[in-house]
Amino acid sequence: MKLPQIRLENVTVRYDDRDVLTNLTLSLDEQRIGIIGANGAGKSTLSRLLNGLVLPTSGTVRVGELTTAKHSKQIRRDVGFVFQNPANQIIMPLVAEDIAFGLKNLGLGKQERQFRVAETLSQLNIMHLAERESHTLSGGEQQMVALAAVIAMQPRTIVFDEPTTMLDLKNRLAFQREIARLDQRAIVVTHDLEILEDFDRVLVVTDGGIRFDGAPDQAIAHYRQWSHA
Amino acid sequence: MIAAKNTSWLAGIPAGWKFGTLLAVSISLYLISSWQVLLALLILSAATLASARVDFKQLRMPLLTLVVILGVVLILLGVQTGWLNAAISVLRLLAMCLFAYSVSLTTSFDAMLELFQNVASPLRVLGANPAQIALALSMAIRFIPELKRVYLEVREAQHARGLGNNPLAVSVPLVIRSLKIADETAEALDARGYDSAPAPRNQR
């Protein structure tokens, strides 16, 4: 799978006269990228810039040749997003129908939708959830369904915003395994530092900027040091 | 109640035919005043439901509720208009409900929404978007249990803080949390490629 480069050029995001991110320039090429940092540091805003859920106040975010300012709809097909709270991401009352929802938005026909739903459920070993009502799922099952809904759309990059925050240890490990198995690029915003051990690159975000950018062990050590200061 | 995967003969019939027939049967039931014919139709409706391979555990509570409501209707109508009239009304309502269960529990939610979009498509002339209305309907059904869960959490938190059954203390955080859910869900709709513009007909 050829992964498109994601590039931020002089990006600033401002809310209510406050800079949440300031003049960021970086390229994201690796397959596993972690983003860590304190609450309110700008991690979630940074993750939402990558598929156009948030547009920069100034500067440009490019995914391949496309910019989020002009092509956010196309980019969202290629950059999926898994939210912290899966309950609010599941739109339809039944699991299979929820996974088909995104496929319908892609304009796929009924047969193709059914095929992809079955294929994705099978890939994540959650075939048994297909006919379950969404509100009856446990937190771990909801997060798996949210991931399935994104995978089914076959994006080349998936951004995760604190995906394990609401999970117990067993579900957290299961979810971590699924992220490790993905062919797609995974960009994971997290406070769960263990997830990042096998990642290619970790960014430490503080006060609207990238404080450290490097290998996971170094980035985590830097973040711990910064947190204790 | 939402239809899980159903493999009965009824599931193979297109949703439009099923709901059209249900409409016609419901109207016909009101034209029939013979209790014997209505009793026969009630038996037919029960047989139809039985043949629909529905999970009866799923049906137990709705049926119990229905029986209680119709029991009240029977007593009220019996006292006011006579017992034969009451029995006829109750037979009619019960048959209609069983036919409706047979149809709704053998039709996937997706198929119902598609049917709704087709039926509501003339509203496009008035500027309405049937796809958006269908999505709003499905989200209402999806999020009712979610809002109930939030309500229970808020009430529990208020009880823990000794506020008892104070409606204001419950309603304010409930509204705020509901708005947050709405905000996050809107963001998820965007992330999942939902386009609020009407979809071309061949993509539905």
- The 10s digit of each residue's pLDDT in B34-56 is 999 999 999 999 999 999 888 77
- Residue A100 to residue B4, Cβ atoms within 8 A: no
Chain A residues whose CB is inside 8 A of the B179 CB are none
The count of other CB atoms within 10 Å of the CB of residue B162 is: 6
- Residue B5 to residue A130, Cβ atoms within 8 A: yes
In whole angstroms, what is the distance from residue A99 CA to residue A118 CA? Answer: 10
Phi-psi category of residue A207: left, alpha or beta, with phi > 0 → left and psi -120 to 50 → alpha: left
Give the ipTM: 0.84
Phi, psi of A199 (to 5 degrees): -75, 165
Chain B residues whose CB is inside 8 A of the A80 CB are 191
pLDDT of residue A182: 93
Chain A residues whose CB is inside 8 A of the B184 CB are 83, 85, 88-89
pLDDT of residue B1: 60
Confidence of residue B201 (pLDDT cuts 50, 70, 90): very low
Domains of chain A, first to last:
6-228 (3.40.50.300)
**Res. B203: pLDDT tops 70:** no
Helices vs. strands in chain A: H and E counts, helices first: 7, 10
Per residue, the 3-state secondary structure of B118-142, as one string, reads: HHCHHHHHHCCCHHHHHHHHHHHHH
Distances (CA, A) of A3 to A123, A149, A183: 21, 20, 10
Residue linked to tokens 């990228």: A33
The count of CB pairs under 8 A between chains A and B is 85
In whole angstroms, what is the distance from residue B31 CA to residue B33 CA? Answer: 6
Return mean pLDDT, chain B: 86
- Residue A92 to residue B142, Cβ atoms within 8 A: yes
Angle at which helices B167-191 and B130-160 cross, to 10° = 140
Low-confidence stretches of chain A (pLDDT < 70) are none
Confidence of residue B23 (pLDDT cuts 50, 70, 90): very high
Share of chain B above pLDDT 70, in %: 93
The residues, any chain, with a CB within 8 Å of residue B123's CB and separated by 6 or more, are: B130, B133
Q: What is the largest CA-CA distance in chain A?
A: 57
Q: What one-character-per-residue DSSP string does A6-18 give?
A: EEEEEEEEEETTE
